[in-house]
């Protein structure tokens, strides 16, 4: 694409739509809210914001957007998902329930129908409830200028990645660094594990081709549009 200011849509059904639109504009894009299939047809890339993933699935169906979005993603449309957007972009979604003795369950998330744009297994609400929200400074591969301040709100995590998925950022692994708010350790990955190169920490940012996802909310950090600028560059390159 040679467009210097690509048109990037923000799925405007739930979540921080206004914040994403503003960050995209500052990042060099022409932002557009997307609520209808005809609006989706006019964008070069799409942002899926945070929210509640089961509700977003129902809204995608109700606005007759699920299949159009899925088809555009399958055809190579660039996309960026933050928090619940990461959940929707995954290929498999697990719920946050834990079994007896603290063992992690592998229960599929009821009501969430993933768009399968990323070859990842995502566990939603992995860090706990709203009260367990936290912030951290993260080194994100491909983002220059120092650590990215990351805001985690009922955030998911990536438990497994496929061979074509690039891990961009992790938080502290189990047993190292400070505990999470409330004294809890970070969520442990599935026992059958992610690839060794991805298991050094809890995965919170990934990329596969033209699709980017973060478990945190960069749109909530005013004055730092680096993640959105990175996505704008990805759209330009397609």
Active site residues: 83, 217, 219
* Entry field: residues in the chain: 238
Residues 6+ apart with CB under 8 A from 103: none
Residue-by-residue DSSP string for 28-88: T-EEEEE-SHHHHTT-SEEEE--S-HHHHHHHHHHTT-HHHHHHHHHTT--EEEETHHHHH
Residues 6+ apart with CB under 8 A from 70: 115, 116
Can you say whether the dihedral through the CA atoms of 207, 210, 216, 219 is positive or negative?
Answer: positive
Residues 6+ apart with CB under 8 A from 92: 108, 114, 120, 121, 122
**Contact (CB, 8 A) for 126 and 83:** no
The residues that bridge with 166 in the sheet, in sequence order, are 207
DSSP three-state, residue 17:
helix
């Amino acid at each position: 694409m040679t467009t210097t200011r690509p048109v990037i849509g923000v799925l405007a059904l739930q979540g921080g739509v206004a914040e994403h639109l503003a960050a995209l504009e500052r990042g060099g894009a022409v932002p557009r809210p997307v609520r209808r299939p005809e609006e989706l047809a006019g964008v070069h890339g799409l942002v899926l914001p945070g929210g509640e993933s089961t509700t977003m699935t129902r809204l995608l169906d109700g606005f007759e957007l699920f299949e159009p979005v899925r088809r555009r993603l399958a055809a190579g449309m660039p996309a960026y998902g933050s928090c619940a957007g990461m959940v929707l972009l995954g290929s498999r979604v697990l719920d946050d329930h834990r079994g007896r003795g603290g063992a992690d369950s592998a229960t599929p998330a009821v009501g969430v129908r993933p768009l399968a744009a990323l070859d990842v297994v995502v566990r939603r609400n992995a860090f706990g409830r709203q009260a367990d929200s936290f912030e951290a400074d993260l080194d994100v591969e491909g983002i220059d200028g120092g650590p990215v301040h990351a805001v985690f709100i009922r955030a998911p995590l990536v438990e497994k990645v496929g061979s074509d998925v690039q891990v961009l950022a992790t938080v502290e692994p189990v047993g190292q660094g400070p505990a999470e708010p409330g004294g809890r350790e970070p969520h442990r990955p599935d026992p059958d594990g992610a690839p060794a190169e991805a298991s050094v920490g809890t995965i919170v940012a990934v990329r596969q081709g033209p699709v980017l996802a973060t478990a945190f909310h960069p749109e909530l950090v005013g004055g730092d549009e680096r993640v959105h600028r990175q996505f704008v560059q990805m759209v330009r390159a397609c």
